[in-house]
Amino acid sequence: MAEPAPLQLSKRRVTRRFPIACLLCALAALMLIPISSRLPAQTRPSQYDVEAAYLLDFGKFTQFSNDSQALRKATFDVCIVGRDPIGPTIDKLAANDTVENRAVRVLRDANASQARTCAIAYFNSHDDDLTRESLNLLAGADVLTVGDSPNFLKDGGMVQFVVETNHVRFAVNLDAVRKTHLVLSSQLLRVALYVEGHPKPEAGP
Amino acid sequence: MSIWNSRTISGKLTRINLLMSGTALVLAYISFLAYGLYTLRGNLISSLTAEASIVGENSVTALMFDDRQAAQATLSALQSSPQIQWAAIVRPDGTVFARYVRNASNPPELGAKLAPGQKVGHWQRGQGILLASRIEFQGKPVGEVYLLAATADLARSAIEFGIISAGILLLCFLIALLATSAFRRLLTEPLNSLAETAQAVSRERDYSMRAKTPRSGDELAALVQSFNEMLDQIQERDRALETSRIDLEERVRDRTAELTTANKELEAFTYSVAHDLRGPLQQINNIGFLLEQAEDNFPTMPQTRALIDKLGSGTRRMSMLIEDLLNLSRATSTPLHRTPIDLSSMAEEILAGLQAEDSSRHVAITVEKGARAIADEGLIHVVLENVLRNAWKYTSKTPAAEIGFSYAEESAGPVFSVHDNGAGFNPQYADRLFKPFQRLHSQNEFPGTGIGLATAYRIVTRHGGRIWAKGKVNGGAEFCFTLPYVAEP
């Protein structure tokens, strides 16, 4: 894996010293982009691609109670509340994946009441007020709330994406999870960047 | 050198036993070792598989959520497995996600890859085994885990196994040796006892010995029993032979005693007859002498003188016969007193006596000097007198009579001979010459008693010598005899 920080530093130094040369190089690079974009394995996935993939994987490591509205449905619904930056990727992934033996369905522009019937609700960070409001409405519902705003866990969210050294990680707020019937797998918690709150005291083995 | 070159059966048995048990044990050791190694390898692979599976299970989320530290932590747990030298978690695209190296010097070389669809695979990597296991989550591959385990443990286990097996092998050898000593008691000792008895019997010819019968009741016991029965039979036969021999000896002794008694009686009879005849004969002789005196003084009839002469010659012949018979009897019964004697002078003396008896005769006499022997003087005198008198008598009708005494030294001792050129005899009847009262000439031709040569024969025979005669009709005769002397110890 290349280490990104020193690379960026060197870039900056180069642009300062040789601006014209860099411009020419950038032009050449731009000309090459369409070609490289056709080579899928070589492009590094974006933050949202990773978030989309993780979103489905969270579902796989979450235990939904059989009474939850999400499991009463034939599909595993993922609601996107607010803006949708992960749309194209999640559509692709959803088409080839199942969670809880159900086909994955993506519902966009969902409001809070719609989100209550979903298994996972995703909140983009562009509108923190909407997020906070929706989380309040969803409090106690068996919906795994996932977001990428910096205060997502403080606002009552369960899983928050954290970008650390250009690396998408996540943090968990167990207090929020504890208010619902959801159980997050210990395996998931093990790879979390950090975990806030405490698990359910009566949680069985 | 063959392994069968032992001289004893027990040695052979020991060797066969050791060879067979040794072979069996070595084969068993090799197969157990091979099986053990195979099992150990199998166990190692299955434990590696289990560890890979655990690592894989624990790395699922790390892989899915790109958490290298968590994967690294999972791999670090492998420190408790000393056999694992190197481990790696690899993403589906082949890039190494996390790595664990036990020994920094160990070069982490993958060099092998799971085929698509293959869940577990293992490869031999020099001294180690490389095992790969696919990590799956809900049926989908999320990565692979590679474990490199050193088989040094395997080799150490093999050595430990070998040491244990060698110990067992040694134990088995000891048991085999013990079994051999049991063999010895069961098989060899009875055989040895049998062989020793057989040798002792053949060496000492003592058929009363018996081999000890083993209590086992097997073929060996039967063999020993048959051997003993054979000895029984031999002993029985020996006893029968001994009995018959003793019986035979007794019979021989009885017969010999009977014969000796008869002979002694006969000799006593002969002696007493001869001795007792002398008295009456002397009386007849005396009466003849008186008659002759009376006739000289008072002649009666012309025939009387002739009758008195006949009476005289009759009594003389009778006297000679009695003398000869007594000589014969003495020759048999008198004990031998050997002394050194000079036969030449003895012959000369006898011949001089004969010449004196009949001085009218002219006989050419030759006596070879120096004939000596160690013998009974009186008896040898009788022999020489008889033989020389014989020669004197049978040359009486020969015009130029010759009588000679000579001897010849031979390897077995001197051979003495008396030869003459007298009437001789028919050699066909030579064996009859030495039998008593057997005469080859008539009383009218040459008077004699027929006892002289028989007496000579007995005396020479008693001396252990031989006497024989050579001659032909009117061609003279030669009498030879030997007198061997062996000093008594």
- pLDDT of B29 strictly over 80: no
Query: What is A47-196's CATH topology?
Result: Rossmann fold (3.40.50)
| CB half-sphere exposure, B53, CA atoms < 13 A | 9
Mean pLDDT, chain B, integer: 85
The tens place of each residue's pLDDT in chain A, 205 residues long, gives 333 333 333 444 444 555 555 455 454 444 444 443 434 444 677 888 888 889 888 988 988 887 777 778 888 888 998 888 888 888 888 888 888 888 888 888 888 788 888 899 998 877 788 888 888 888 888 899 999 888 888 888 899 999 888 888 999 999 888 888 888 888 888 888 889 887 766 544 4
Task: Give the pair of three-digit tokens for residue B221.
Answer: 């016991």
- Which runs of E-coded beta strand occur in chain A? 62-63, 75-81, 98-99, 102-107, 120-123, 144-147, 159-164, 167-173, 183-184, 194-196
- Quick one: pLDDT at residue B106? 57
- Residues of chain B contacting A168 with CB distance shorter than 8 Å: 66
Which residue is closest to B59 within chain A, CA to CA? A187
The residues with which B51 forms a beta bridge, in sequence order, are none
Domain extent listing, chain A: 8-37, 47-196
Give the integer Cα–Cα distance in Å for B211 and B220: 12
- Quick one: pLDDT at residue A39? 40
The residues with which B416 forms a beta bridge, in sequence order, are B407, B481
Does residue A41 sit at the B interface (CB-CB below 8 Å)?
yes
Burial level of B159, CB count in 10 A (0-12/13-18/19+)?
exposed
Test mutation, B58, B59, B61, B135, chain A, max A CBs within 10 A = B61
* Residue contact A50–B66, C-beta within 8 A: yes
Does residue A61 sit at the B interface (CB-CB below 8 Å)?
yes
- Backbone φ and ψ for A123, nearest 5 degrees, come out as -120, 125
Q: Are A133 and A112 contacting, i.e. CB atoms less than 8 angstroms apart?
A: yes
Element (H or E) spanning B478, and its range? strand B477-482
- Residues above pLDDT 70, as percent of chain B: 96
Q: Are A89 and A53 contacting, i.e. CB atoms less than 8 angstroms apart?
A: yes
Domain extent listing, chain B: 9-174, 207-333, 336-482
How far is the alpha carbon of A7 from chain B, nearest alpha carbon, in Å?
Answer: 21
Give the integer Cα–Cα distance in Å for A55 and A49: 10
Q: Is the dihedral of CA B113, B118, B124, B128 positive or negative?
A: positive
- Condensed to tens digits (0 to 9), the pLDDT of residues B396-409 reads 888 889 999 999 99
- Condensed to tens digits (0 to 9), the pLDDT of residues B114-172 reads 777 788 888 887 778 889 999 988 888 889 999 988 877 667 777 887 788 788 778 87
Which residue in the set B60, B93, B138 is minimally distant from A187, CB to CB?
A: B60
Does residue B141 sit at the A interface (CB-CB below 8 Å)?
no
* Residue contact A60–B137, C-beta within 8 A: yes
- pLDDT of B255 strictly over 90: yes
Give domain B336-482's CATH superfamily.
Histidine kinase-like ATPase, C-terminal domain (3.30.565.10)
Q: Are B421 and B398 contacting, i.e. CB atoms less than 8 angstroms apart?
A: yes
How far is the alpha carbon of B157 from chain A, nearest alpha carbon, in Å?
Answer: 37
Q: Are A80 and A114 contacting, i.e. CB atoms less than 8 angstroms apart?
A: no
Q: Are A123 and A81 contacting, i.e. CB atoms less than 8 angstroms apart?
A: yes
Give the integer Cα–Cα distance in Å for A140 and A156: 10
* Residue contact B61–A190, C-beta within 8 A: yes
Residue B441: helix, strand or coil by DSSP?
coil
* Residue contact A191–B93, C-beta within 8 A: no
Query: What is B9-174's CATH topology?
Result: Beta-Lactamase (3.30.450)
Q: Are B291 and B301 contacting, i.e. CB atoms less than 8 angstroms apart?
A: no
Task: Give the pair of three-digit tokens for residue A33.
Answer: 């982009």
CA–chain centroid gap for A88, Å, is: 14
Does residue B93 sit at the A interface (CB-CB below 8 Å)?
yes
Does residue A16 sit at the B interface (CB-CB below 8 Å)?
no
- pLDDT of B250 strictly over 70: yes
Does residue A102 sit at the B interface (CB-CB below 8 Å)?
no
- Quick one: pLDDT at residue B110? 65
Q: Are B350 and B380 contacting, i.e. CB atoms less than 8 angstroms apart?
A: no
Task: Give the pair of three-digit tokens for residue B157.
Answer: 């286990």
Give the integer Cα–Cα distance in Å for A158 and A145: 5
* Residue contact A54–B65, C-beta within 8 A: yes
Does residue B321 sit at the A interface (CB-CB below 8 Å)?
no
Test mutation, A191, A193, A195, chain B, max B CBs within 10 A = A191
